[in-house]
Amino acid sequence: MADFNKILDAGDVDGGIINVVVEIPTGSSHKIEWNRELAVFELDRVDPQIFAKPCNYGFIPQTLDEDGDELDALIITEQPLPTGIFLKAKVIGVMKFVDDGEVDDKIVVVPADDRDTGNAYNSLADLPKQLINQLEFHFSHYKDLKKPGTTVVESWGDVEEAKEVIKESIQRWKDL
């Protein structure tokens, strides 16, 4: 029998395999966010289609980034993933990001068992350069029609830097 008292946590950060919940599928222009007070997914806004997400977008449970929201994850898969599912994901890096003056980092992950795709991504260096360029362009410009210049991709970090960002976000959650 299932133990419904268990709550999904961040996973095995030191081992590099974390839990991620999908909010927005690849190709969607719907800004869907987890509302932790109501425990439901909520449509925050509809962005212009030109700013549809270039990859699946989600969050790591029981974390808080410096902006007060759950720590974001960019989930790299060949197909869109539906809102609301969770997956075991392998950490491959971090996009250091600032949104409207607040740190809003994005942990870059792939499904933990991505052998079936033949990709076996282990770091950002394994991703196609064009995908990195698309991600950087998207996050640098997706708010340009409303608030130009308010988003900045500052840098990209490796797996160890990503793990440190996750650990700091877990501690913030615990301190809440």
| 86-130 tens-digit pLDDT | 999 999 999 999 999 999 999 999 999 876 555 679 999 999 999
pLDDT score of 119: 63
Listed by start position, the domains of the chain span 11-175
pLDDT tens per residue, range 48-90: 999 999 999 999 999 999 999 999 999 999 999 999 999 999 9
> Which CATH code fits 11-175?
3.90.80.10
pLDDT score of 120: 79
pLDDT score of 6: 72
Of residues 136 and 113, the one with the higher pLDDT is 136
Query: What is the CA angle 92-95-99, rounded to 5?
Result: 150
What amino acid is encoded at 88 in this protein?
K
Long-range contacts (CB closer than 8 Å, 24 or more residues apart) made by 41-49:
41/83, 41/84, 47/142, 48/145
- Mean pLDDT of all residues in the chain? 93
In this prediction, what percent of the chain has a pLDDT beyond 70?
Answer: 94
In this prediction, what percent of the chain has a pLDDT beyond 90?
Answer: 86
Residue stretches of the annotated binding site for substrate:
31, 45, 57, 142
pLDDT score of 1: 47
| Sign of the four-CA dihedral 114, 86, 55, 14 | negative
Residue stretches of the annotated binding site:
31, 45, 57, 67, 72, 104, 142
Query: What is the CA angle 153-157-160, rounded to 5?
Result: 150
Residue stretches of the annotated binding site for Mg(2+):
67, 72, 104
